[in-house]
Structures are given as C-alpha cells and as structure tokens.
C-alpha cells in the first residue's frame, strides 16, 4: 500500500470513528452492557439500547481541531450556537477579582444541544488565576438567567494583549439535562489556545467574558466550532458585527 492510500484510510477512520473523551467510556460501556441485557428480554428493547449506545458514543466524541494561533485571537471554547451577546456585565460574582470589577465585560453565551461536541477548550493562551465551582439550579441553559442561577464552574485567566495584560473568563454552565461539569484546569496553569480543559454532560452552555472595548466577531444564532471559530480579536477595533439569516 502506498502512503497516500494509507493516509486516505486513516482519514476515513478518523471521520467515522472519532477519538472519544475518557469521561465517556464508563457511559458507553454501561449502555452497551445494558443493551445486551435488554436484547435478551426483548429484541425491540435491545434495538433501542443499541441506538442509545451509538448516540452516547457520538456524544463523547473528541475530534481534532485546526486552531488559529495568531496572538490576540479569541477562539470559541465550545461547539454550539451563540444564544446571547450581553455587553456591560460584571464577572461572575463567585470570582474574587470580580469584587472590584463593574460592568467591564461583554458576555458571549454558547448553547450546546445534546448533539454538539461537549469537550471545552481554552479560548486564548494565558494563565489561570482563579478556578471556582458554584452550586446552583438546573434551569434551561438557553435562558439568559442561567449565567447567574445555574450550577457552574468558572475560570479567570490572564492573557497578554500586546505589551499589556488583561483578564478574561470562561464559565461552564450546567443545564436541565446536563448535571455534571468536569473541569481539569488548575490555578497558575499556563495553557495554549485550543487546549482542552473539560467537558459537560449532557447539553449545556459556555460563557466567554471579553474585556471592555473588545467587540465579538460573531452574531446571535451563529454556529460555533470549538477550537476553530474565531470569536473575537483583541487587536481589532472593529465594531460589533451585524448579521442576518439567508
């Protein structure tokens, strides 16, 4: 076999059988085992279990992404749809640094349905300065109030913006279906744009807090790809974008 043919086979394999996040294997194995038992009871139940197992495998996929690496680019941390863009908001109240902050941020909210990739990635290179976990409710993550009422995990980090440093935050928010947030980041950890830091199970939302004066380069309703879609540019002076469905 020549190298091109082998590369083509690998590309097909990666497309049909993407890498799986480690957090998914207990669920996949559990659903598969339950499917075997159900099929012994009734074939129809076994067929339903098979579809659920395939969906679970699909849910925990963790495909490779091609991440833009230019300094200043803020990349989407989640796969989903932009549900809200809220200017002039403070950082989440549980962050210590937020006590001295007023309405200095623009919050971009990305809603993830149960068919989106749920692995989360750092939106920009920097250093984690604070990590918090806030218990809360499990209202629909598509609602704006989910940012303040729902269970969530927040990361505050420091990034270089030219010669100066600035603060940003990313928040994983549980929804009415999602009841488990996994966040592997640590305080004082340095990271690159697009590096994985966690996953949310099963349907949720991720908020990104952009510094004041930085307009998002996305619009409400736009589909995002985690680790690839450019969400904002710290080096740009462009005004907020206007978009329409076509």
Q: What is the pLDDT of residue 8?
A: 66
pLDDT tens digits, 68-114:
999 999 999 999 999 999 998 988 888 876 555 677 899 999 999 88
Q: What is the pLDDT of residue 208?
A: 97
Q: How many CB atoms within 10 Å of residue 40? A: 10
73-233 maps to CATH 2.70.70: yes
Of residues 178 and 69, more confidently modeled: 69
Model confidence at 166: pLDDT above 60: yes
Sheet containing 196-201: give its strands across: 119-121, 196-201, 180-183
Q: What is the pLDDT of residue 5?
A: 66
Of residues 7 and 209, more confidently modeled: 209
Of residues 3 and 56, more confidently modeled: 56
| Cβ pair 159, 125 in contact under 8 A | yes
Any catalytic annotation for residue 204?
yes
Q: Which of 83, 204, 219, 236 is catalytic?
A: 204
**Which of 97-111, 162-176, 219-233 is predicted most confidently?**
219-233
Model confidence at 235: pLDDT above 80: yes
Average pLDDT for the chain? 86
Model confidence at 62: pLDDT above 60: yes
Q: How many CB atoms within 10 Å of residue 106? A: 21
**CA 181 from centre of chain:** 11
């Amino acid at each position: 076999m020549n190298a091109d043919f082998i590369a083509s086979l690998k590309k097909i394999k990666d497309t049909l059988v993407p890498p799986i996040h480690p957090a998914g294997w207990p669920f996949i194995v559990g659903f598969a085992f339950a499917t075997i038992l159900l099929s012994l009871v009734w074939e129809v139940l076994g067929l339903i279990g098979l579809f659920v197992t395939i969906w679970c495998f699909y849910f925990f996929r963790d495909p490779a992404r091609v991440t833009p690496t230019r300094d200043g680019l803020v990349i989407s941390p989640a796969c989903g749809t932009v549900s809200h863009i809220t200017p002039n908001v403070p950082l989440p109240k549980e962050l210590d640094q937020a006590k001295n902050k007023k309405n200095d941020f623009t919050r971009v909210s990305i809603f993830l349905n149960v068919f989106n990739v749920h692995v989360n990635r750092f939106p920009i290179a920097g250093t984690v300065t604070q990590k918090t976990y806030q218990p809360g409710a499990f209202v629909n993550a598509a609602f704006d109030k989910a940012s303040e009422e729902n269970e969530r995990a927040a990361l505050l980090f420091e990034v270089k913006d030219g010669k100066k440093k600035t603060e940003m935050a990313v928040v994983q928010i549980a929804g009415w279906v999602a009841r488990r947030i996994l966040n592997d980041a640590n305080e004082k950890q340095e990271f690159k744009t697009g590096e994985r830091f966690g996953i949310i199970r099963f349907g949720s939302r991720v908020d990104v807090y952009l510094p004041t004066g930085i307009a998002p380069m996305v619009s409400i309703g736009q589909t995002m790809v985690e680790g690839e879609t450019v969400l904002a540019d710290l080096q740009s002076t462009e005004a907020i974008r206007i978009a329409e469905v076509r």
